[in-house]
Amino acid sequence: MTCAFLFCFVLSAKATHQRAAEITYAWVGGNAYEITLTTYNVPNAAWEQRDSLLVLWGDGAEEFIPRIAWSNMGDNCIKNTYRQTHNYATPGTYVISMEDANRNYGVVNVPNSVTVPMYIETELVINPFMGYNNSVQLLNAPVDKACVGKLFIHNPSAYDPDGDSLSYRLLPCKGMNGMEIPGYSYPQASQAFEIDPVTGDLRWENPVLQGEYNVAFIIEEWRHGVKIGSVIRDMQILVSACSNNVPNINCNDEYCLVAGEQLDFVISASDPDGDNVTLTASGAPFEVAVSPATLTPESAYGLQPQMEFLWNTVNAHIRNTPYQVVIHAKDDSEPISLTNVKTVTIKVMGPKPQTLVAEMHGHDATLSWAHYQCPNAVALLVYRKAGCDGYEPDFCETGIRDGYQLMATLDPSATTYTDHDLPPGMAYEYRVVARFPDGAMSIVSDPACVTLKNDSPLMTHVTNDSIDLESGQVRACWTQPKEIDEQYVAPFSYALTRILEGETAVVYEGADTTFLDANVDLAAVTSLVYKVEMRDATHQLMGTSATASAVLLTANGANNEASLSWTEEVPWLVDSTQVFKEVENHFVRIASVTGFAYTDTDVEADATYRYYVRTFGHYTLEGVMRPLVNYSAIKTVRIGHEEPEEEFSYVLPNVFTPNGDGFNDVFEPKVTGLDLITGAKTVIFNRWGNILCDTDDPLIQWDGKNKMTKLECSPGTYFYITDITYIAPTGEEKLHLQGSITIVR
């Protein structure tokens, strides 16, 4: 007993009784960073002597860094600020950490807390082609109060100087050597203890027992979908028995505005117990370098305090991640005061491109629009979709909706674009969107529509002969144009060209608009398209249709299922597909889908099944027959047993030669198990961090050109980040690759 008492006495004399801590950093230049360690502890003799603390830089070096400031926060808590600059030799990922004895006495969820060290760490990623990074700054102190049975909310008020996206998640508190503390548990709650992954609101609903509790959470930074750093905060919550209730905060949760507009709203608070309330707010809008937001007054106090939020936004405020304003309302109840927190999000959007106009010149659509007014835009994106139904963007909606095809990425100074060789028989809608350095998209432009003349023949069918599906013979059909120029002399004739497995041949000449190609077995081909020319009586060419492919079905049987997929490259819109399966010697429809794949699980191993699909489509022009119905060949598939797991590998080269010689012309991986990939993202940069290629294609296929200018990149070294998600034997796995690629011409 005497020895135990002596041990505790000595330990107490040396301990700093740490309550909370975190490490943040700011980029100084090159590979140098200013590191700030902030700790919160119980005031005692040991604290006074702690004018420096040992920090491990993550590169093998360690150093005692000096305390530059301290302040008494009241409630038996001292805030200490330690700061030092460290220069890293090379780019890389570094875990900066601090371990200090000891935590304070009596932390409920940390067994024997006074013997447990306080350990925190922060991840610093130095990656020049991602751009240098500053960590989040936590504007709200990590020591807070709560009442038993009352809702508790805390927000660290994290501000990211670079505008990176942030995510939050809980972690167990850590102790000696960065290990999880034995016996540690999250605080007991009557309903829930959780953190909002987007806003960072730590919500405890509701504390059950009095006492002091320590919790930890990590704030991760993301840029272009890549994690570029993180900060772990270890904080303390003091729970007491009280009848107090948190104040109410009154204002909207969300605001959206276009850059250049003024945001003006009133924040007010009141207390259900009639206590006076101190009202404050913090967040990124107050920290921006240009035209920051203001509060009038900066803080307010009273029974019903009010503050006016005013922000004159400018183009520099446009960003992909909404801004957050964290509002705190603290009552003056005795002996325990409580604080309510409300997180307000503010989205500053890029204005929409103005006065988009589209004009037809033959089969080319020429677009024009006003010069885009935001000098910080990095590109204008031109989109197209078949049809012209249009839409009005919703409140706070930016970017383009699904269903549009990206046609061009242009310099932000561009005011025109020409879409060449549009197929006849269709109407098209165009939109323009501006993109900003962090990937933010502007509000979409108003639509501009064009309708092509029906002055050329239109392919309507490349189909398995529906009268005799078993034969696999192809029936090709087309229509005569509705708008025929007076210069052409009747009668008219057609020449049908077939391109089969790359071999071109004219298979029909005459006046009919349908042809049965009996020399083709559709079940055996992998590539088959047709097009038709129209001539007048003087053999003058009147027009040529766009090419149209057959519906090519593939079927595979494995893992006790039949996997069907099909392709149909046609100038009309494909609306839906019906899937047919042979059951008891006749075909029945088993599904109707809008995509190009279907999996039949109603099968048995070692059994054989037959399938075909029937597609439905239409041209957008009025007066053209609809629907356009096309059949695939009949495909037979045998269902195998469960197959061995396919191996997966994904390797990227470090050199490629885009010189047009047909060898090593694109940057692409060597892949085993391509069909196991479920997601992919590759970003390629130059040494200044400018994005040259951004693709979701797992095969990448970069041709060595700048996607913005369409010009060839100079020979030299470039950098990539690739993230792959794939199916492994144990479930979905992620592969992260980053490195350099050299262009040799």
Of the candidates 512, 599, 587, the one whose C-alpha atom is nearest the C-alpha of residue 558 is 599
Compute the distance between CA of residue 449 and CA of residue 384 in angstroms, rounded to an integer.
9
45: helix, strand or coil: helix
On the question of pLDDT at 422 being above 70, the answer is yes
On the question of pLDDT at 4 being above 50, the answer is no
- Quick one: which H or E segment has residue 8? helix 2-14
* CA 438 from centroid of its chain's CA atoms: 12
**In the block, which residue shows the tokens 């005459």?**
510
Note whether 572 and 618 are within 8 A (CB). Answer: yes
Domain boundaries 458-638, corresponding CATH code: 2.60.40.10
Q: In what order do the strands lie in the sheet with 427-435?
A: 405-410, 379-386, 427-435, 448-451
pLDDT band of 460, cuts 50, 70, 90: very high
Per the prediction, the chain carries an average pLDDT of 91
Compute the distance between CA of residue 565 and CA of residue 558 in angstroms, rounded to an integer.
14
**In the block, which residue shows the tokens 């502007």?**
442
Ranges of CATH 2.60.40.10 domains, the chain: 248-349, 357-451, 458-638
The arithmetic mean of pLDDT across residues 399-406, rounded, is 92
Both tokens of residue 560?
A: 């006790």
Q: Which of 247-251, 461-465, 703-707 has the lowest mean pLDDT?
A: 703-707
On the question of pLDDT at 641 being above 70, the answer is no
On the question of pLDDT at 473 being above 90, the answer is yes
Both tokens of residue 198?
A: 């987007």
Of the candidates 438, 482, 468, the one whose C-alpha atom is nearest the C-alpha of residue 322 is 438
**In the block, which residue shows the tokens 């035209």?**
291
Neighbour tally for 309: CB within 10 Å:
22
The arithmetic mean of pLDDT across residues 363-379, rounded, is 95
Summarised one tens digit per residue, pLDDT across range 246-276 is 999 999 999 999 999 999 999 999 999 999 9
pLDDT at 668: 93
Contacts of 573 (CB under 8 A, 6+ apart): 386, 387, 617, 618, 619, 620
Compute the distance between CA of residue 310 and CA of residue 313 in angstroms, rounded to an integer.
9
Compute the distance between CA of residue 71 and CA of residue 38 in angstroms, rounded to an integer.
11
Both tokens of residue 658?
A: 């885009």
On the question of pLDDT at 5 being above 50, the answer is no
Q: Which residue has the higher pLDDT, 313 or 663?
A: 313
C-alpha distance from residue 435 to each of 318, 336, 415, 444, 459 (Å): 10, 50, 15, 11, 38
Summarised one tens digit per residue, pLDDT across range 71-114 is 998 888 999 999 999 999 999 999 999 999 889 999 999 999 99
Q: Which residue has the higher pLDDT, 739 or 562?
A: 562
Give 372: exposed, middle or buried? Use CB within 10 Å, 0-12, 13-18, 19+: buried
Compute the distance between CA of residue 145 and CA of residue 337 in angstroms, rounded to an integer.
7
Compute the distance between CA of residue 233 and CA of residue 19 in angstroms, rounded to an integer.
11
End-to-end distance of the chain based on CA atoms, in angstroms?
A: 80
pLDDT at 11: 38
Beta strands in 161-296 (DSSP E): 165-171, 189-195, 202-207, 211-223, 226-240, 248-250, 254-258, 262-270, 277-283, 294-296
% of the chain exceeding 90 in pLDDT: 75
Domain boundaries 248-349, corresponding CATH code: 2.60.40.10
Q: Which CATH architecture has domain 357-451?
A: Sandwich (2.60)
Q: Following DSSP, what letter does each residue of 573-602 receive, concatenated?
A: EEEEEEEEEEETTEEEEEEEESSSEEEE--
On the question of pLDDT at 687 being above 80, the answer is no
pLDDT at 645: 62
Contacts 24+ apart (CB under 8 A), 248-254: 248/272, 248/329, 248/340, 249/279, 249/327, 249/329, 249/340, 249/341, 249/342, 251/309, 251/327, 251/342, 251/344, 252/344, 253/342, 253/343, 253/344, 253/345, 254/344, 254/345, 254/346, 254/347, 254/396
pLDDT at 643: 54
**In the block, which residue shows the tokens 């502890």?**
41
Compute the distance between CA of residue 392 and CA of residue 379 in angstroms, rounded to an integer.
22
Both tokens of residue 87?
A: 């220069």
pLDDT at 6: 33
The arithmetic mean of pLDDT across residues 616-629, rounded, is 90
Query: If phi over 0 gives left and psi between -120 and 50 gives alpha, with beta otherwise, what is residue 430?
Result: beta
pLDDT band of 8, cuts 50, 70, 90: very low
Compute the distance between CA of residue 103 and CA of residue 15 in angstroms, rounded to an integer.
8
Q: Following DSSP, what letter does each residue of 606-675 receive, concatenated?
A: T-EEEEEEEEEEE-SSTTS-S-EEEE---EEEE---PPPPPP-EEE--SEE--SSSSSS-SB--EEE-GG
On the question of pLDDT at 688 being above 70, the answer is no
* CA 305 from centroid of its chain's CA atoms: 39
Compute the distance between CA of residue 13 and CA of residue 7 in angstroms, rounded to an integer.
10
Contacts of 620 (CB under 8 A, 6+ apart): 386, 387, 388, 425, 426, 427, 451, 573
3-state SS of 404-424 is CEEEEEECCCCCEEEECCCCC
12: helix, strand or coil: helix
The arithmetic mean of pLDDT across residues 593-601, rounded, is 93
pLDDT at 3: 39
pLDDT band of 45, cuts 50, 70, 90: low
**In the block, which residue shows the tokens 């997966």?**
648
17: helix, strand or coil: coil
Q: Which of 1-15, 343-357, 370-384, 523-537 has the lowest mean pLDDT?
A: 1-15
Compute the distance between CA of residue 247 and CA of residue 409 in angstroms, rounded to an integer.
50
Note whether 475 and 515 are within 8 A (CB). Answer: yes
Q: Which of 327-331, 628-632, 672-676 has the lowest mean pLDDT?
A: 672-676
pLDDT at 201: 94
Q: Which residue has the higher pLDDT, 609 or 707?
A: 609
Q: Which residue has the higher pLDDT, 713 or 475?
A: 475
Q: ∠569-570-572 over CA atoms, to 5°?
A: 140
Summarised one tens digit per residue, pLDDT across range 478-503 is 999 988 988 999 999 999 999 999 99
pLDDT band of 719, cuts 50, 70, 90: confident
pLDDT band of 421, cuts 50, 70, 90: confident
Compute the distance between CA of residue 271 and CA of residue 332 in angstroms, rounded to an integer.
10
The arithmetic mean of pLDDT across residues 504-521, rounded, is 96
Q: In what order do the strands lie in the sheet with 416-419?
A: 357-361, 364-368, 416-419
Note whether 303 and 271 are within 8 A (CB). Answer: yes
Neighbour tally for 355: CB within 10 Å:
11
Query: If phi over 0 gives left and psi between -120 and 50 gives alpha, with beta otherwise, what is residue 152?
Result: beta
On the question of pLDDT at 203 being above 90, the answer is yes
CATH class of 649-743: mainly beta
Contacts of 575 (CB under 8 A, 6+ apart): 594, 616, 617, 618, 627
The arithmetic mean of pLDDT across residues 544-566, rounded, is 91
